[in-house]
Chains A and B, each alone.
Chain A
Amino acid sequence: MAAFGSFALLIALILAGYNLLAGGVGLRLQTVGGGTAPIAPERLLETARRAGIAGFVAVTAAAFALVWSAFHNDFRLEYIVEHSNIALPGAYKFAALWSGQEGSLLLWCWLLATYGFVLRLTDKEDRRLHAYAGTILAGVQVFFLILVNFVAMPFSLVRGGVAPADGNGLNPLLQYPEMVIHPPMLYLGYVGFTVPFAFALGALMMRYPGDKWIHITRRWTMFTWMFLTIGIFLGMHWAYAVLGWGGYWGWDPVENASLMPWLTGTAFLHSVMMQEKRGMMKSWNVWLIFSTFLLSILGTLLTRGGLVSSVHAFAQSSIGTWFVVFLGIVLAVCAFTYILQKDHLKSEHQIESLVSRESGFLFNNLVLLAACFTILWGTLYPVLSEYVDGTKKTVSGAYYSHVMVPIGVFLLLLTGVGPLLAWRASSLKSLRRNFVLPVVAFWVTLIGCAIAGVKVWGDEGVFYAAVTWSLAAAVTTAIASEFVRGAAVLHRQTGKNMVASAVLLTRRNTRRYGGYVVHLGVVLIFLGFAGYAFNRSAEKEMPPGSSISVGPYRLVNIGNTQESNANYDTEFSQLDVYEHGRKILNEPMSPEKRVYLVNGQPQTIVANHSTLLWDLYVVYEGENPDTGMPIIKVFLNPLVSWIWIGLAVTVFGTLLALVPAVQPSRVAVMAPARTQGADALEGGASAGGD
């Protein structure tokens, strides 16, 4: 299987190389006129397209070979020795594909080939634009295939040629159900941004007329964004459930690496609407998608290249130089193409008012990019400080909580403000009408927090939490009022009740109202984040019969147990949970600590009782070596469930926005005679929804 996989990768590289070369030559011949060429450019491009499709088959074969080797315990392969063992459960053997450097690069290749396969099969919409995009994808594919063929080879054999009896096993931190789907989701996001990038660069290269490329790539971008969102949140949930420190986001460089392209991708999804609606911000959009792709590569560099130290960098090596060179080449190509074609990107309109939907989008972009810059700055500051004064500084959550929280709160504010502004300009009257309810909701919530005993001015974290909740109330009111206002119009037009009208409204403009649902999801997520300011914890050595209290809960240790299976030894405590003196769980909570037999590495398995109000999060920290008794740490983390509910709502909203809108049936009516005023205003005024 090793030889099969290696050959498959080599063939894939040859096919990708041909795709790049033939595609490039074919497109050039089409541009300059290929009348004298021995082969017609169209036929050359078709062979390039087919090479891309065949490349997908070859990379799929290679990925299959690696998974097959993991399932069949083929310890002749160094990669399988390092990342699998006989006792490893099947699902984790599958996950071994992306648990190491070589495998994860192969996963990159396979996902890119899959995206390319779909792109090449759906090229009927615009063959020439797809040919450009396919050729650019092939260029990226060549880079990754060079890596897996010559630099980080997944099929290299063990040194000495003698296969060991068993492997070293998978990193225990990765032996968790979410780890089977978190990396592929994240990679679907990272890799997926290559497609809109390829379309944007291709459209710029060919001076594509109009904005059709944006319509073509909108779905790609939204799908990609959705996968990246899911991937990031699955990672958060994994960190929460496995690392056992009571939090879900530690501002680790690898976490930051996934957030940066998400932020620029989100900015792109917003600002692209300005190009569609008003023909504005064309250069800005092109650079946003370029930056998103470059940040995706930077993310891979941070994860794999060892540029900065991270608890999540499971597969580091000296591969970083390759990525730096690739980043440089991509940046140079983007900059060169932009300089050459920038006259093609002139805006058709300009922003007319500071108080308009366009300005809202612009400020939204600004805040998202400020957040991205701040994260990039914080992530790379240790490298910078080491370079400047020789001392590597630490930039942890303590830094980000000061600089990122204000930016996040401002972003939440814009989530509510932006949709309430009209295109081109908002009148004072409409501002008053649209903002009065959200402003009232804000102040009612803030005062309500103060009355409920939240010491708004007592602590920075509590202050931001109260402001976040108040803004969440304001934004929710704004979103609800948008639905009510639109539904009321339909209610008057169709006579349907308000709920049916709201459903019809959403179906008629899925993009706009799906977007609002996404905003609602973001609000819920922020609601959960704000709960962090009120986290409480207690820690205690707990012999059987002892108890520990936190908030309204009391946990009583009813016994400590040790068990073993073929994969690991485990020790855990069983804790009965009482709330205000009443036992609330039929089964005791069982936080545990595993030690994997194959490599002796420990892993925490957290026990979590989650409610809408808070999570009772229990960690088995290990035994006190002096007494042999377990040390239990209990956290009471408010509102964490809302983060995961917010994710579900966000994903639902994204899917809703992807559903084609239902077109209303139209009836011909006699137009009223034009007034003098309307004639005078012709061409001068506009407003409207998304």
Chain B
Amino acid sequence: MAITGRMRMWSRTLLAAVIVAVCLVTTGASNPQARFNDLGHKMMCTCGCNQVLLECNHVGCTVSGGMRDELTRAIASGQNDSLILQSFVQEYGATVLAAPTTHGLDLLAWIMPFAVSLLALGGTIYLVRHWARQQQTATALTPQQRRTLEAMRERIRLETDTQETGTRQTGAKESL
């Protein structure tokens, strides 16, 4: 009973911590200046400089100034971020967005790096574990032998740290 109560307390504390963390992460972009900065970094200058809208610094760039003014007006008119971005896309085309959106084909742009990384990571872990199991079956050691082996490895490691070992590490007997 006491354990259940303590667990409940812990779970509530954890939940409160998560809520606080989420609030901390999601707040902060509500004032107009922060929104201008945030949206201005989600769009590109369309003058052909390939720079983010708020980072375009070309002398006499006739495009970025107008776009910034447009963005300021849109924020002042009370439109939400999504609507503002949509209106810019309609006016300047899809290339105005600094990054792919998170729907349709564009979702693939975001998912692929992580999917490929996770797949490769999972595959590698599976493969290494498979090889390790094969090795363990082939060379089963008693606990005593394992302890001796570990001690020997430590000693070899300490001693070989101090000099270059160009030869291949094939067995304890070579190093000893």
Contacts and interface: CB of A to CB of B under 8 A. Distances in A.
B79 interface: no
Contacts of B174: 686
Interface string B153-176: 110111111111110111111111
Interface in A457-514: 457-460, 482, 485-486, 489-490, 493, 505, 508-512
Interface string A623-661: 001000000010000000000000000000000000001
Interface of A: 243-247, 250, 252, 276-279, 309-311, 349-354, 359, 362-363, 366-367, 369-370, 373-374, 377-378, 381, 385, 388-389, 391-399, 402-403, 407, 422-425, 427, 429-430, 455, 457-460, 482, 485-486, 489-490, 493, 505, 508-512, 593, 602, 604, 619, 621-622, 625, 633, 661, 663-664, 677-678, 680-690
Contacts of B150: 427, 429-430
Contacts of A395: 99-100, 109
Nearest to A595: B59
Given A351-B128, A684-B149, A690 B165 contact: yes
B75 interface: no
Please name the 10 residue pairs, one residue from A and one from B, whose CB atoms are nearest each other, closest first.
A687-B153, A622-B59, A399-B99, A374-B113, A661-B164, A688-B160, A398-B98, A427-B150, A370-B117, A685-B172
A377 B116 CA distance: 11
Nearest to A671: B176
Contacts of B94: 391-394
Contacts of B76: none
Contacts of A276: 166, 168
A681 B148 contact: yes
Given A397-B98, A398-B41, A677 B59 contact: no
Contacts of B15: none
B162 A509 contact: yes
B51 to A, nearest CB: 6
A396 B59 contact: no
Interface of B is mostly: helix
Contacts of B98: 394, 396-399
A604 B24 CA distance: 39
A362 B149 contact: no
Given A366-B121, A688-B157, A602 B59 contact: yes
A489 B158 contact: yes
A424 B153 contact: yes
Interface stretch (B4-12, B42-50, B80-88): B42-50
22 contacts: A277-B169, A310-B50, A311-B49, A349-B170, A352-B136, A353-B132, A362-B124, A370-B113, A377-B112, A377-B113, A393-B95, A402-B110, A427-B150, A458-B24, A482-B161, A489-B162, A633-B57, A681-B172, A683-B171, A687-B153, A687-B154, A687-B156
Nearest to B96: A394
Contact of B116 (A373, A625, A633): A373
B97 interface: yes
Contacts of A511: 164
B164 A684 contact: no
Contact of A277 (B28, B153, B168): B168
Contacts of B41: 398
B106 A385 contact: yes
Nearest to A455: B24
Contacts of B166: 276
Contacts of B149: 681, 684-685
B44 A621 contact: no
Contacts of A683: 171-173
B97 to A, nearest CB: 6
B164 to A, nearest CB: 4
A245 B52 CA distance: 10
Contacts of B97: 393-394
A278 B109 CA distance: 38
A348 to B, nearest CB: 8
Given A252-B50, A403-B114, A689 B157 contact: yes
A369 B105 CA distance: 24
Given A370-B113, A392-B94, A621-B59, A685 B153 contact: yes
Given A351-B128, A684-B139, A457 B25 contact: yes
Interface string B118-150: 001100110011011011100101001100111
Contact of A430 (B57, B125, B154, B170): B154
A385 B95 CA distance: 11
Contacts of B161: 482, 485-486, 489, 505, 509, 512, 689
B163 A661 contact: yes
Contact of A354 (B21, B129, B139): B129
A403 B115 CA distance: 11
Contacts of A486: 161-162
B16 interface: no
Given A493-B162, A511-B164, A681-B172, A422 B109 contact: no
A370 B120 contact: yes
Given A427-B153, A686-B175, A490 B162 contact: yes
Contacts of B152: 678, 681, 685, 687
B70 interface: no
Contact of A377 (B42, B60, B99, B109): B109
Nearest to A349: B170
A363 B158 contact: no
B148 A677 contact: yes
Interface string B36-79: 00000110100001111001111110000000000000000000
B105 A389 contact: yes
B109 A399 contact: yes
Contact of A509 (B42, B49, B163): B163
B132 A457 contact: no
B168 A664 contact: no
A392 B50 CA distance: 13
A100 B14 CA distance: 61
Contacts of A397: 52, 98
A373 B168 contact: no
A682 B41 CA distance: 62
Nearest to A688: B160
Given A310-B50, A688-B156, 4 more contacts: A381-B109, A393-B97, A681-B152, A683-B172
A683 B93 CA distance: 67
Contacts of A459: 25, 28
A508 B162 contact: yes
Contacts of B160: 688-689
B139 to A, nearest CB: 5
Contacts of A394: 44, 94-99
Contacts of B159: 489
Given A393-B106, A394-B44, A397-B52, A686 B21 contact: no
Nearest to B133: A352
A457 B21 contact: yes
A660 B97 CA distance: 52
Contacts of B175: 686-688
**Which of A393, A402, A510, A678 has the most CB atoms of chain B within a 10 A radius of its CB?**
A393
Given A279-B168, A392-B94, A362 B128 contact: yes
